[in-house]
Amino acid sequence: MSYQPPAYYQQPQRSGNRGLGAGITSIVAGVLSPIAAVVSIPLGIAAVASAMSRYNQGNDAWWIGALVLAGVAVLLAIVAVVCGLIAVFRAGRMNAGRITGIIGLAIMAVNIFGIVFMVFLVLGSGQGF
């Protein structure tokens, strides 16, 4: 015979914040991703200028910095989308987790084409050298 709790015992209530951490991560990554992409553009321009300079041949530090920031922008975009989807589907009903997940996905929906353009701009600037 299994144990039955007394009638006055109530199960502990779950908090309504399932998915909140993933939603906040989605928003933060969605905001930081275009910043990393925008910063990578001046580094790409500096890499082109460095390659064109006759006094600074073979300096690849600008390219490495530009490519690292472009990679960080892409990685943050992926993190924002994945965390936003986790927050939306993990939250069982409309709660803080689902709302922050939707906000993070909305930020990425607005930013994704700009981020892709900036990354291609950085990658394309290195094709001539």
Other Cβ atoms less than 10 A from the Cβ of 74: the count is 16
In contact, 86 and 19? CB cutoff 8 Å = yes
Other Cβ atoms less than 10 A from the Cβ of 29: the count is 22
Digit-by-digit pLDDT tens for the chain (129 residues) are: 577 766 676 666 666 677 888 899 999 998 998 888 888 878 777 777 776 766 666 666 777 888 888 888 889 989 999 999 998 888 877 788 888 889 999 988 888 888 888 878 777 766 654
User: Which pTM value belongs to this model?
Assistant: 0.73
